[in-house]
A and B are shown apart, each in its own frame.
Chain A
Amino acid sequence: MTTSVVLEKVEKRYGVFDVIHGIDLQTDPGEFAVFVGPSGCGKSTLLRMIAGLEEISGGALMMDGERMNEVVSSERGIAMVFQSYALYPHMSVYKNLAFGLETAGYKKAEIEPRVQQAARVLQIEPLLQRKPKALSGGQRQRVAIGRAIVREPKLFLFDEPLSNLDAELRVQMRVEIARLHRQLGNTMIYVTHDQVEAMTMADKIVVLNAGRIEQVGRPLDLYNHPVKRFVAGFIGSPKMNFLEGVIESTSADATVIRACGASIKLPRALRAVESDMPVTLGLRPEHLNREETGGIKLADLQVDLVENLGDETLLYARSPDGQTINMSLAGEQVIFNGSTVPAFFDIAHCHVFGPDGTAI
Chain B
Amino acid sequence: MGNKMTGPAAANIAAAGPPRQKTHIPNHPQRKPQPTSWLGRAWQGSGPGYMFLLPWFIGFFGLTLGPAIVSLYLSFTDFDLLRAPNWVGMANYVRIATSDPKFAASMGVTLFFVLFSVPLKLAFALGVAVVLNRGIRGLPVYRAVFYLPSLLGTSVAIAVLWRQLFASDGLVNSILAEFGIEGPSWISHPSYSIWTLIILSIWQFGSPMIIFLAGLRQIPGDMYEAASLDGASKWRQFFKITLPLLTPVIFFNAVVQTIDAFKAFTPAFIISGGTGGPINSTLFYTLYLYQEAFGFFRMGYASALAWVLVVIIALFTAFSFLTARFWVHYDD
Q: Are B8 and A337 in contact (CB under 8 A)?
A: yes
Is the pair A338, B222 in contact by a Cβ cutoff of 8 Å? no
Contact present for A51 and B229 (CB under 8 Å): yes
Of A6-14, A59-67, A86-94, the one with at least 4 CB within 8 A of chain B: A86-94
Q: Contact at B231–A86, with CB atoms within 8 Å?
A: no
Residues of B within 8 A of A305 (CB): 15
Contact check: which of A75, A80, A133, A336 meets B226 at CB < 8 Å?
A80
Given the interface pairs A86-B223, A336-B11, A337-B14, the reply to whether A73 lies near B229 with Cβ below 8 Å is: yes
The answer for the CA separation of A283 and B261 in the assembled complex, in Å, is: 75
Contact among A89, A103, A304, A336 with B230 in the assembled complex (CB-CB below 8 Å): A103
Q: For the complex, what is the distance from the CA of A51 to the CA of B225, rounded to whole Å?
A: 10
Q: A104-B231, A337-B15, A338-B14 are in contact. Are A89 and B331 (CB under 8 A)?
A: yes
CB <8 Å contact, A100 and B231: yes
Chain B residues within an 8 Å CB radius of A133: 331-332
Which B residues between 226 and 249 are near A, CB-CB below 8 angstroms? 226-232, 236, 240-241, 244-245, 247
The residue on A at minimum CB distance from B236 is A103
A110 CB to closest chain B CB (Å) equals 15
**Bound Cα distance A305, B247 (Å):** 56
Partner of A73, one of B220, B228, B332: B228
> Which residue in chain B gives the minimum CB-CB distance to A303?
B15
Contacts of A304 in B (CB 8 A): 15
Which residues of B sit under 8 angstroms from A104, Cβ to Cβ?
230-231
Q: Which of A48-92 contact B (CB under 8 A)?
A: 51-53, 73-75, 78-80, 82-84, 86, 88-90
Closest chain B CB from A189 CB (angstroms): 14
Q: Does B98 lie at the interface of the complex (its beta carbon under 8 Å from any beta carbon of A)? A: no
Q: Which residue of A lies closest to B230 (CB)?
A: A100
Assuming the A-B contacts A80-B226, A336-B8, are A103 and B231 also in contact, with contact meaning beta carbons closer than 8 angstroms in the complex? yes
Task: Tell me if B226 and A103 are in contact (CB < 8 A).
Answer: no
> Contacts A337-B8, A339-B11 hold; do A82 and B222 have CB atoms under 8 A apart?
yes
Check A82–B230 contact: CB distance below 8 A: no
A151 at interface, CB cutoff 8 A: yes
Is the CB–CB distance between B329 and A89 below 8 Å?
yes
- Interface size, chain A (Cβ < 8 Å): 30
Shortest A245–chain B CB gap in Å is 26
* Nearest A-chain residue to B226, judged by Cβ: A86
Chain A residues near B332 (CB-CB < 8 A): 133
**Cβ contact of A82, chosen from B11, B225, B241, B247, cutoff 8 A:** B225
The yes or no answer to A99 lying at the interface (CB within 8 A) is yes
Q: How far is the CA of A233 from the CA of B12 in the complex (A)?
A: 29
* B226 cross-chain contacts in A, Cβ below 8 A: 80, 82, 86, 147
Q: Is the CB of A99 within 8 A of B14?
A: no
B13 to chain A, nearest CB (A): 9
Chain B residues within 8 Å of A147, by CB: 226
Residues of A within 8 A of B229 (CB): 51-53, 73-74, 78-80, 100
Contacts of A84 in B (CB 8 A): 220, 222
Are A99 and B240 touching (Cβ within 8 A)?
yes
A103 to B241, CA, bound (A): 13
Which 5 pairs between the two chains have the least Cβ-Cβ distance? Answer: A74-B231, A100-B230, A337-B15, A90-B329, A338-B11
Q: Which B residues fall within an 8 A CB radius of A? A: 8, 11-12, 14-15, 220, 222-223, 225-232, 236, 240-241, 244-245, 247, 329, 331-332
A to B CB contacts below 8 Å, 8 in the list: A53-B228, A74-B232, A86-B220, A86-B222, A89-B329, A100-B230, A104-B231, A336-B11
- 4 more contacts with CB within 8 A, not counting A86-B220, A99-B230, A339-B11, are A73-B228, A73-B229, A80-B225, A90-B245
